[in-house]
Structure 1
Amino acid sequence: MDAFRTPTRARTTRARLYVPLAVFACSAALLAGCSSGSGSSPAKKGTTTQAAVPVAADGLQDDYLKVIKDVLPSVVQIQASSDLGSGVVYDDNGHIVTNAHVVGDEKTFKVTTANNEDEQTATLVYAYPEQDLAVIKLDKVPDGLRAASFGDSSKVEVGQIVLAMGSPLGLSSSVTQGIVSATGRTVSEGSSGGGTGATIANMVQTSAAINPGNSGGALVDLNGKVIGIPTLAASDPSLGGGTAPGIGFAIPASMVTKVADQIIKDGKVTDSGRAALGITGRTVVDDDYRAAGVAVVEVEDGGAADKAGIAPGDIITGLGDTGITTITSLSEALAADKPGAKSAVTYTRDGSEKTVDVTLGEQ
């Protein structure tokens, strides 16, 4: 697993990959009714002393407890044949949204809800690996199933307190807390080990612990709104390839609802909102074995590149003002654009550099 390439572009590991679980013990001092040693005044007979709890802290704890009580029943555990992940109840009809890498290539699943230990069965509706999202549907809707409420991810702010809910390492109904540490991240998921290889724009970065099994769960604000679906954890080679503590990523709620609504209505994604060139490409290297561009292997008939005259054998080296050295950098540059936008594509053909304006298509 790799560390960040730039402050805003990271290669990451899927949050569901299994790692050893470390259990840490902690101690706390019970202040109520305790003396503080020498120099303290004895308590009067018949009375007790109790440490004062700051009003602000007490109120924050109440907020936490209310959010957990309201939202946790909407977070489920999803068991595929060999993998475990999380999901969020999307509506009262039993639709559950999760990550595409959680469902993989499977069609049926076992689901455990927070308020019912009996396993439920569910069937895949549609998986959309390009955005690492999927929707499954419970075969029978159990009593008490509660749909989550999704928030407006455009209003998410750095520093906002959030809770991550899911089933890390199989520990169902677990909650971790942190803050939103950045927004607008473009992140590329690895394709090895069952990953989708998706490049996802506008992700929410959080310090809330995102562990294996959290994938597909809920990142929730203190208003009880789901603002994202935890999906990835950054990795750090200095940790032996382990995940970097406190750097996780969630797909923003706006994209989750856009994709899920289409899947539920049409059985597939009809409007991805993702820009595309309409090519199949591969990374090429120069004489020093350094990544030097993307060679066009195939061109989609009638696609954006085809209409602009780009052909197999051309080597793309730039998109707009962004230099292109790898297929990942091309995917990340496209993720920042929208279908229908015009962008200048720089490429080489037979050793000559050319630039052409391309009207981007849709992935």
Structure 2
Amino acid sequence: MIARTARPVVALRAAALLVLLTACTGPASGSAAPERSATAPAPTVSGELQDGYQRVVADVLPSVVEISAGGGLGSGVIYDEEGHIVTNAHVVGDAKEFEVVLATRKDPIRARLVAAYPQQDLAVIRLTDLPRRLRPATFGDSRAVEVGQIVLAMGNPLGLNSSVTQGIVSAVGRSVSEGEGEATLGNMVQTSADINPGNSGGALVNLSSQVIGIPTLAARNPQMGGGQAPGIGFAIPASTVTFLADQMIERGRVTESGRAALGVTVRTVLGDGFEPAGAAIAEVDDGGPAQRAGLRPGDVITGLGGEEVTDVVSLAEALASLRPGGRTEVEYLRNDERRTARVTLGEANAPRR
């Protein structure tokens, strides 16, 4: 049986647009069908590009591991020579001990949890018995990631260890939610490389053999019964991975989240047609950004930083695209009157695990 991780893939908030491309069954009236030469040469794969793919696989795949936790399988990336491995928080779950299989050997090695930070779906574990030859991955600069870059996703999808898929960077700076009540992840890299259960925690790699992200989520299409939307996956950018992993290794937990906060507790409110109509403030932190801007319980937030807010999730997504210390506008309703406030954002707390 093929094992898979328990994490469901993220549901797209916007309805997917499916375009059916139909080919003409024949030439237009009065025109001749173009001839095709039977001797025309078939397209060939560029040997240089193929060699580049194989070089990257040889460079990076030894740094990608398989992690067994609580009966499920996931992936991880060797972070340093001390045996630290970065992966997703949803891969480790509530487990404290794990079995890790390196790409270069068959026998599992035991590992223990260092720390996890579910708010950004990241965790660090450490091998308890270091092998002689351990190859840490090289993490790239997320600021250099550009749309259209060719990338390879490496991991253990559906338990098929050391698998590689290919695609491009489709977008950067995405904010996505893992679901109602789950983490909202900011500044994500979107890719067309296949991300399947078991790929979580693996490596998204550029053609310079640098890890530019940790594959985390694939999209689901609600118009197709919640089935996986092909070619839409998301990875935590390398800069976020190193920023948080270094804290977990050095301090045993995340102390600086780097995530923007308003300092409010909110709930979703419904409009006259019973559709989500905003995020109502239930509590305001004393001395927090919202209170300093004049917001108070009962106000209904309808926009943040130019993004529409219809519910708790969309507010979290809007915040995920911003940074602590930045100034932005909050649109809200108070007694059915539309108002706007300028807010200097704070930083979300990083709770202990």
SS at match of 2:124: strand
Residue identity opposite 2:197 in structure 1: P
How many Å separate the matches in 2 of 1:153 and 1:118?
34
SS at match of 1:59: helix
Which position in structure 2 is the counterpart of 1:35?
none
Which position in structure 2 is the counterpart of 1:247?
232
From 3, 8, 12, the equivalent of 1:3 is 12
Q: TM-score, normalised on structure 2? A: 0.84
SS at match of 2:108: strand
SS at match of 2:67: strand
Deviations along 1:110-137, one digit per CA (max 9) or x if unpaired, are: 1111112111111111111111111111
Q: Does 1:270 align with 2:255?
A: yes
Instruction: Note the C-alpha offset of 1:156.
Output: 1.5
Deviations along 1:296-352, one digit per CA (max 9) or x if unpaired, are: 222223322233333333221222323211111111211222111122223233444
From 287, 312, 316, the equivalent of 1:327 is 312
Relative to structure 1, the CA distance from residue 241 to residue 291 in structure 2 (aligned partners, 3 Å threshold; closer, same or farther) is same
Relative to structure 1, the CA distance from residue 334 to residue 53 in structure 2 (aligned partners, 3 Å threshold; closer, same or farther) is closer
Q: Does 1:173 align with 2:159?
A: no
How many Å separate the matches in 2 of 1:228 and 1:201?
13
From 46, 53, 68, the equivalent of 1:57 is 46
Q: Does 1:164 align with 2:149?
A: no
How many Å separate the matches in 1 of 2:177 and 2:122?
14
Instruction: Note the C-alpha offset of 1:213.
Output: 0.4
Instruction: Note the C-alpha offset of 1:191.
Output: 4.9
How many Å separate the matches in 2 of 1:6 and 1:225?
34
How many Å separate the matches in 2 of 1:238 and 1:289?
21
Relative to structure 1, the CA distance from residue 157 to residue 322 in structure 2 (aligned partners, 3 Å threshold; closer, same or farther) is closer
* Map 1:1-363 → 2, pairs under 5 A: 2-5=11-14, 57-191=46-180, 197-363=182-348
Instruction: Note the C-alpha offset of 1:70.
Output: 1.2
How many Å separate the matches in 2 of 1:203 and 1:289?
32
Aligned residues: 317
Deviations along 1:86-125, one digit per CA (max 9) or x if unpaired, are: 1000000011111111112222211111112111111111
Relative to structure 1, the CA distance from residue 57 to residue 240 in structure 2 (aligned partners, 3 Å threshold; closer, same or farther) is same
Percent identity (aligned): 61
Deviations along 1:41-71, one digit per CA (max 9) or x if unpaired, are: xxxxxxxxxx9996x7222221111111111
SS at match of 2:243: helix
> Unpaired segments of 5 or more residues in structure 1?
8-38, 41-50
Whether the 8 Å contact between 2:11 and 2:179 is mirrored in structure 1 is: no
How many Å separate the matches in 1 of 2:247 and 2:137?
18
Residue identity opposite 1:236 in structure 2: N
Residue identity opposite 2:98 in structure 1: F
Whether the 8 Å contact between 1:203 and 1:251 is mirrored in structure 2 is: yes
How many Å separate the matches in 1 of 2:180 and 2:137?
30
How many Å separate the matches in 1 of 2:238 and 2:228?
24
> Unpaired segments of 5 or more residues in structure 2?
1-9, 17-37, 349-353
Residue identity opposite 1:161 in structure 2: I
Instruction: Note the C-alpha offset of 1:76.
Output: 0.6
Q: TM-score, normalised on structure 1? A: 0.81
RMSD: 2.3
Whether the 8 Å contact between 1:115 and 1:144 is mirrored in structure 2 is: no
SS at match of 1:356: strand
Residue identity opposite 1:77 in structure 2: E
Residue identity opposite 1:168 in structure 2: P
Whether the 8 Å contact between 2:15 and 2:223 is mirrored in structure 1 is: no
Relative to structure 1, the CA distance from residue 191 to residue 109 in structure 2 (aligned partners, 3 Å threshold; closer, same or farther) is farther
Whether the 8 Å contact between 2:15 and 2:222 is mirrored in structure 1 is: no
